[in-house]
Amino acid sequence: MPTDVENWKSEVYGSEIRDHLFEFAERGFDSIPDDERDAWFERFKWWGLYHQRNGQEGYFMMRIGTPNGVLEPGQLRVVGEIADEYARGPGTNPIFGDAYADFTTRQSIQLHWIELSDVPAIFEKLEANGLSTQQACGDSWRNIVGNPVAGKDAQEVIDAWPVIRDLNETFKGNDDHSNLPRKWKVSVTGSADGSGQGDINDLAFEPAYKEVDGEDVVGFNVRVGGGLSRNEPRLARDIDVWVSPERVSDVAGGLSALFRDNGDREDRYNARIKFLVDEWGAERVRETLQEEYVDFDLHTAGRDVREEYTYNTGAGERNDLIGIHDQKDGTNFVGLNVLVGRMGAEDVLELADVAEEYGSGEVRLSQRQNVIVTDVPDDAIDDLLDEPILEHYSPSPSPFMRGSVACTGTEYCSLSIVETKNRQVRYARWLKENVELPDDVDQFHIHLSGCTASCAQPQIADVSLRGMKTRKDGEPVEALDVGLGGGLGAEPQFARWVTQRVPADEVPGAIANLIDTFAAEREEGESFRAFVARHDDDELDAFVDPEETDYDDPMMHNTKRTWYPYAEDDSLDSAPPAPADD
């Protein structure tokens, strides 16, 4: 039997939701009929609006999908202006203030406290500047990810940006692909660094060479069925297909249609294509694609460059895109660390100024929640580095700052079990002050996810932290499970969950003890990931060794029982009413 969500989608879904959304915005939040709220909130996701958690009724998270993380000149300023004007609510974050933008692990942007009545004005401003929230959430093609510096990167094998643009234009607002069984996450990468993180996407195009008519041609190998959520992480499976850039849209559309027609619409927990690939196997996916969804002969897989991958691998160069890097046109891109991906609206506007002054005005977002200023000439680099804003958003940050990734957490998210972003900021600051990594280790990735949805991609970090609970002195407190040794690359590996339910205030001490042991017992030049790989779970559990330190955690209570964890009177009974329609 189809789920309620499927029934709602069969009634109204896709582009047509917009007219209803605007009508509700015009008539006010209360005009949504009481018995239709679940249905409309589910549908609004397709237009990038996600109702915030209980206690924050009537406020929405708005996600802006920026394909491949590309913000063309002027667009970052628009984001900053919208954040400044509209992303202000009744709660003030003690670290980030009143208005901010979140850069996500899928190269999108999230704003909070958005009121329904402001949506038409925001959409108008976004769309006038080439930006959109369309399909940023919901059951369809999500924001397409990849190497954010596609087209500019001196190291790339093939420029994936035209391919991504074409896919975005073809499959956004496309009625044949607007109602899928579940979300559909696509990665297209043209660089040899692996920064598109294709392995953890539903559909991945990765650079590969193929001999076609006697010539070595650059195109993409295809993998299907990756993803991290729900305690069921999967690496995308190789379906033995190589495709030329010109045919990517045909193959992507074929696989999207295959998913549309064969995905499970009766059980949303079983709906992602990773489960269909589990059931069918890669060979049947390929056969079905060939027989039913494309009208040309598929090539077998080409020669990939996975051996060269470095991004998020835990060793070698370019584990991220922070710092100064060569562009193929002789200028540079400068990756700046945005701790946990959150940037105050004023800083967003200032960064837009800086990008215009020293580069082309363009800015790009990475899957490590960081920002990249592109097109900076050699002779402008020193002046750019002297800009005050780069003291905070650094191109050469502490390993603990640059390695931190965090999801939204209980501040706004219904699913999260613990506070995340502010906690990860506190962790990073404490680790920076108190823990020394070996001299030759300049990267250390710690990802904090509030639950098993894995929005912070915890399974592919050196240290993976996932929201949990425990009791301390008999009282329930926020806690984290600790996983170790995850990473991507030629041999991707999910973290092993070695220590469970560490009280959140003992996690910094646990990481400090772990790093002490790593520093003392590693082999010459050994990476942390390799160190983890040669120890069993019991040994690693002993290395973690949770301990109280002078780290103080003010959010040990059940932050979900608050209307906003940082409010002076945070009880759910004190939650503000839904915003008035002014």
Partner 1 sequence: MTTRLRVLDDGAWISVDDHREVRVSELWRLDTDEFCGCDLADLVVENFQTVGVDGSTVEVRVYGQCIACGASGTTGWIPVGRIRDGSFAAIDRSAIRRPRPETNQ
**269 lies in the binding site for partner 1 (CB under 8 A):** yes
- What lies within 8 Å, CB to CB, of 249 at 6+ separation is 163, 166, 167, 170
Please state, as a whole number, how many other Cβ atoms lie within 10 Å of the Cβ of residue 541.
Answer: 17
Binding region for partner 1 (CB under 8 A) out of 23-31, 116-124, 340-348, 466-474:
466-474
**54 lies in the binding site for partner 1 (CB under 8 A):** yes
The single residue among 168, 410, 513, 517 that binds partner 1, judged by CB under 8 A, is 410
What gap in Å lies between CA 9 and CA 26, rounded to an integer?
A: 23
**Single-letter code of the amino acid located at 319:** N
- Smallest separation, CB 10 to partner 1 (Å): 16
The single residue among 27, 284, 328, 471 that binds partner 1, judged by CB under 8 A, is 471
What gap in Å lies between CA 4 and CA 178, rounded to an integer?
A: 18
What gap in Å lies between CA 557 and CA 559, rounded to an integer?
A: 6
**555 lies in the binding site for partner 1 (CB under 8 A):** no
**125 lies in the binding site for partner 1 (CB under 8 A):** no
- Smallest separation, CB 227 to partner 1 (Å): 13
Helix (H, G, I), strand (E, B) or coil at 267: coil
**7 lies in the binding site for partner 1 (CB under 8 A):** no
**558 lies in the binding site for partner 1 (CB under 8 A):** yes
| Shorter beta-carbon distance to partner 1: residue 228 or 239 | 228
What gap in Å lies between CA 287 and CA 290, rounded to an integer?
A: 5
Torsion sign, CA atoms 463, 469, 471, 476: positive
What gap in Å lies between CA 331 and CA 154, rounded to an integer?
A: 10
**42 lies in the binding site for partner 1 (CB under 8 A):** yes
- Smallest separation, CB 500 to partner 1 (Å): 6
**459 lies in the binding site for partner 1 (CB under 8 A):** no
| Shorter beta-carbon distance to partner 1: residue 492 or 503 | 503
- Smallest separation, CB 472 to partner 1 (Å): 11
**20 lies in the binding site for partner 1 (CB under 8 A):** no
Binding region for partner 1 (CB under 8 A) out of 116-124, 188-196, 289-297, 465-473:
465-473
Contact 75/131 with Cβ under 8 angstroms? yes
- Smallest separation, CB 33 to partner 1 (Å): 9
With tokens 């098993």, the residue in question is 452
**500 lies in the binding site for partner 1 (CB under 8 A):** yes
**Single-letter code of the amino acid located at 42:** E
Contact 76/133 with Cβ under 8 angstroms? no
The token pair at 129 is: 């500047």
Contact 14/46 with Cβ under 8 angstroms? yes
Q: Pattern 418-447, binding to partner 1, x per CB under 8 A? A: x-----------------------------
| Shorter beta-carbon distance to partner 1: residue 157 or 413 | 413
Helix and strand element counts for the chain (H, E):
17, 21
The single residue among 453, 519, 542, 578 that binds partner 1, judged by CB under 8 A, is 453
The single residue among 1, 11, 34, 523 that binds partner 1, judged by CB under 8 A, is 34
Which positions from 515 through 544 interact with partner 1, judged by CB under 8 A? none
With tokens 């001999």, the residue in question is 211
DSSP bridge partners of 564: none
Percentages of the chain per state (helix, strand, coil), in multiples of 5: 40, 20, 40
DSSP bridge partners of 471: 476
What are residue 263's phi and psi, to 5 degrees? -65, 160
Phi-psi category of 28—alpha, beta or left, where left has phi over 0 and alpha has psi -120 to 50? left
The single residue among 256, 310, 416, 443 that binds partner 1, judged by CB under 8 A, is 416
How many chain residues interact with partner 1 (CB under 8 A)?
A: 35
What gap in Å lies between CA 505 and CA 70, rounded to an integer?
A: 37
Binding region for partner 1 (CB under 8 A) out of 28-36, 109-117, 157-165, 218-226:
28-36
Query: CA Rg, the chain, in Å?
Result: 23
**415 lies in the binding site for partner 1 (CB under 8 A):** yes
| Shorter beta-carbon distance to partner 1: residue 189 or 270 | 270
Binding region for partner 1 (CB under 8 A) out of 249-257, 284-292, 427-435, 469-477:
469-477
**88 lies in the binding site for partner 1 (CB under 8 A):** no
Helices (DSSP H) in 54-104: which residue ranges? 75-86
**30 lies in the binding site for partner 1 (CB under 8 A):** no
DSSP bridge partners of 324: 334
Q: Pattern 214-233, binding to partner 1, x per CB under 8 A? A: ---------------xx---
- Smallest separation, CB 37 to partner 1 (Å): 4
What gap in Å lies between CA 106 and CA 132, rounded to an integer?
A: 15
DSSP letter at 293 equals I
The single residue among 305, 448, 465, 468 that binds partner 1, judged by CB under 8 A, is 468
**501 lies in the binding site for partner 1 (CB under 8 A):** yes
What gap in Å lies between CA 272 and CA 291, rounded to an integer?
A: 22
Q: Pattern 315-334, binding to partner 1, x per CB under 8 A? A: --------------------
Binding region for partner 1 (CB under 8 A) out of 30-38, 149-157, 337-345, 440-448:
30-38
**36 lies in the binding site for partner 1 (CB under 8 A):** yes
The single residue among 172, 177, 342, 560 that binds partner 1, judged by CB under 8 A, is 560
- Smallest separation, CB 321 to partner 1 (Å): 30
The single residue among 11, 35, 291, 391 that binds partner 1, judged by CB under 8 A, is 35
Helix (H, G, I), strand (E, B) or coil at 123: helix
| Residue 151, CA distances (Å) to 50, 64, 195, 311, 366 in order | 32, 22, 14, 18, 15
Question: 433, 431, 421, 401: which is closest to 335 by C-alpha?
Answer: 401
DSSP letter at 289 equals I
- Smallest separation, CB 442 to partner 1 (Å): 35
Interface contacts to partner 1, rule CB under 8 A: 4-5, 34-38, 42, 53-54, 229-230, 268-269, 410, 413-418, 451-453, 467-471, 476, 479, 500-501, 558, 560
